[in-house]
Amino acid sequence: MNYFLDVVRNKYAQFNGRARRSEFWYFALFNFVISLVLELLDSVLGLQSGLSNVGILSGLFSLAMLIPGIAVSVRRLHDTGRSGWWLLLIFAIFIGWIALLVFYCQDSQEGTNEFGPNPKTGEMDVADHLID
């Protein structure tokens, strides 16, 4: 739950840097579980729209999680050494989804890459040493 809260509180719209697999997948897990609970609440309380069948609570939550979801996805791609533009593969319906899934499951690129230090090893950048 800490990874989900960290993404929502501290990294809401942070597209730079890197995200470990655990940060990405725990965010995805809790996002899915909360969405499922809100869908059930919408259904029980009768808050679903007749035309689109989207509930008020789940719709607002999905809208609120859109930016942090994209941000953590971009940071995850950065962690594997790829640009965030690879996220556009989501529009290539089936093949793009599989490619992104493979990228998200890959291990971090070792050492510091062009997107920053490896969060897995706790490396610090030279600029971080100057701040301390």
| Domain-wise residue ranges, the chain | 2-131
Contact 4, 26 (CB under 8 A): yes
| Strand partners of residue 55 | 48
CA–CA distances in Å: residue 10 to residues 16, 52, 61, 71: 13, 33, 18, 12
Contacts of residue 42, Cβ cutoff 8 Å, sequence gap at least 6: 48, 55, 56, 57, 58
Q: Is the pLDDT of residue 52 over 80?
A: no
Region 78-104 average pLDDT: 93
Q: Is the pLDDT of residue 128 over 60?
A: no
Is residue 48 helix, strand or coil?
Answer: strand
Q: Is the pLDDT of residue 12 over 70?
A: yes
Query: At 1, is the pLDDT very low, low, confident or very high (cuts 50, 70, 90)?
Result: confident
Query: At 71, is the pLDDT very low, low, confident or very high (cuts 50, 70, 90)?
Result: very high
Alpha-carbon Rg of the chain, whole angstroms?
17
Query: At 127, is the pLDDT very low, low, confident or very high (cuts 50, 70, 90)?
Result: very low
pLDDT of residue 130: 42
Region 29-50 average pLDDT: 90
pLDDT of residue 123: 60
Structure tokens at 49: 């729209």
Q: Is this model's pTM higher than 0.75 or not? A: yes
| Integer Cα distance of 11 and 85 in angstroms | 19
Output 126 or 69, whichever has higher pLDDT: 69
Q: Which of 38, 37, 39, 29 is nearest to 72 (CA)?
A: 29
What are the tens digits of pLDDT across the range 80-90? 999 999 999 99
